[in-house]
């Protein structure tokens, strides 16, 4: 058939050019990711993994393949797309480059089969290494943000919910939990999508209260579970290894259980009486002090904490605090968030 290309011509001209372009694309994408692992996350293990994969790819970039390059006559050099011209956030940058690397590796795997049998096999293995790298990178990045978030906003019902959350984000909050017990699912889904996007636009984590299904549906960073919600092991099975799972705890026994079951963080409280959970008896500052000395994972003091009592909570040992009304009911959420953060970071 006329559409069939002569095998010798294909190998001597076209295939090496395809391989050359995609070898460069894969290495460039990996180097971009590597720089963030090195300087942004300051994680030597992830940085070294990027370097190792990049060097494996470079071993296949032979003189023969490089010699086939013809940039001047390449029609692809003038092609572009508006989405390639901007990056909205670090997450967007990383995801774009991970996708770029994975696409290039698939091309190298398929055309490598025509060029050299071993090449196709090698790039199949490298492609799976990049999938694992992606999972580890997403997991590490989320967990690092979690550990570095002193102020956690848990939402309550509000006529201007998204505006309040945006104001809090502008004030420095970088961890938000959407909690809506009495909202219809169709409304909750819409709000969750908008709030998730808002948080990610501000490079902040977004957590869904209780609902694992909604967390998946809107690509939330994780879910927060109460004591009466599904087991952590089942939530992990549904969510996978790369999303955050938090658990409310009210005493040392519940803390130990949550840690043993694999929670990424715990809530410690309610420290004071709170209308959010009126049925709960306050645990006081004693449990906060216990958490300081016994929790091996990040923990957030929660329950009735505001500007008037936060210093006592900090003195008891809390470095991370979750608030509801202190910000949700504030006239100026941005100002209150800044003031609370100032107290948390000074101590």
The residues assigned a catalytic role are 179, 248, 277
Determine contact, residues 218/193, Cβ cutoff 8 Å. yes
Written in H, E and C, the secondary structure of the chain is CCCCCCHHHHHHHHHHHHHHHHHHHHHHHHHHHHHHHHHHCCCHHHHHHHHHHHHHHHCCCCHHHHHCCCHHHCHHHHCCCHHHCCCCCHHHHHHHHHHHHHHHHHHHHHHHHHHCHHHHHHHHHHHHHHHHHHHHHHHHHHHHHHHCCCEEEECCCCCCHHHHHHHHHHCCCCEEEECCCCCCHHHHHHHHHHHHHHHHHCCCEEEEECCHHHHHHCCCCEEEECCCCCCHHHHHHHHCCCCEEEEEECCHHHHHHHHHCCCCEEEECCCCCCCCCCCCCCCHHHHHHHHHHHCCCCEEEECCCCCCCHHHHHHCCCCCEEECHHHHCCCCHHHHHHHHHHHHHHC
What is the spatial distance between Cα 345 and Cα 151, in angstroms, rounded to a whole number?
10
Closest CA to 332 of 168, 169, 179: 168
Q: What residues are paired with 244 via a beta bridge?
A: 222
Q: What residues are paired with 300 via a beta bridge?
A: 267
Please measure the distance between the N-terminal and C-terminal CA atoms of the chain and give it in whole angstroms: 77
Q: Which pair of structure tokens corresponds to residue 70?
A: 């013809």
Calculate the CA 240 to chain-centre distance: 13
What is the spatial distance between Cα 219 and Cα 118, in angstroms, rounded to a whole number?
38
């Amino acid at each position: 058939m006329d559409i069939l290309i002569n095998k010798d011509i294909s190998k001597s001209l076209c295939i090496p050019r395809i391989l050359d372009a995609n070898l460069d694309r894969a290495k460039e994408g990996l180097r971009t990711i590597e720089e963030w692992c090195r300087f942004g996350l300051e994680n030597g293990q992830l940085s070294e993994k990027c370097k190792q994969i990049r060097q494996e790819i470079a071993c296949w970039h032979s003189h023969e393949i490089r010699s086939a390059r013809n940039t001047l006559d390449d029609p692809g050099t003038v092609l572009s797309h508006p989405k390639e011209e901007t990056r909205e956030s670090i997450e967007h940058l990383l995801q774009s480059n991970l996708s770029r690397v994975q696409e290039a590796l698939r091309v190298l795997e398929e055309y490598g089969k025509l060029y050299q049998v071993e090449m196709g096999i090698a790039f199949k293995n490298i492609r799976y290494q990049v999938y694992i790298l992606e999972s580890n990178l997403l997991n590490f990045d989320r967990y690092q943000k979690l550990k570095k978030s002193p102020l956690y906003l848990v939402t309550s019902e509000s006529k201007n919910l998204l505006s309040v959350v945006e104001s809090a984000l502008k004030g420095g909050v970088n961890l938000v939990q959407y909690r809506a017990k009495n909202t219809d699912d169709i409304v909750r889904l819409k709000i969750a999508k908008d709030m998730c996007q808002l948080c990610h636009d501000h490079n902040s984590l977004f957590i869904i209260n209780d609902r694992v299904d909604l967390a998946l549906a809107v690509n939330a960073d994780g879910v927060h579970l109460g004591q009466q919600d599904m087991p952590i092991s089942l939530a992990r099975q549904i969510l996978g290894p790369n999303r955050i799972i938090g658990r409310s705890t009210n005493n040392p026994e519940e803390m130990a259980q949550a840690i043993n079951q694999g929670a990424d963080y715990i809530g410690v409280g309610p420290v004071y009486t709170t209308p959010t959970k009126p049925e709960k008896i306050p645990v006081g500052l004693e449990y906060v002090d216990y958490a300081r000395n016994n929790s091996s994972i990040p923990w957030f003091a929660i329950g009735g904490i505001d500007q008037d009592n936060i210093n006592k909570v900090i003195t008891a040992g809390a470095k991370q605090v979750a608030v509801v009304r202190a910000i949700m009911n504030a006239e100026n959420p941005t100002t209150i968030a800044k003031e609370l953060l100032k107290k948390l970071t000074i101590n």
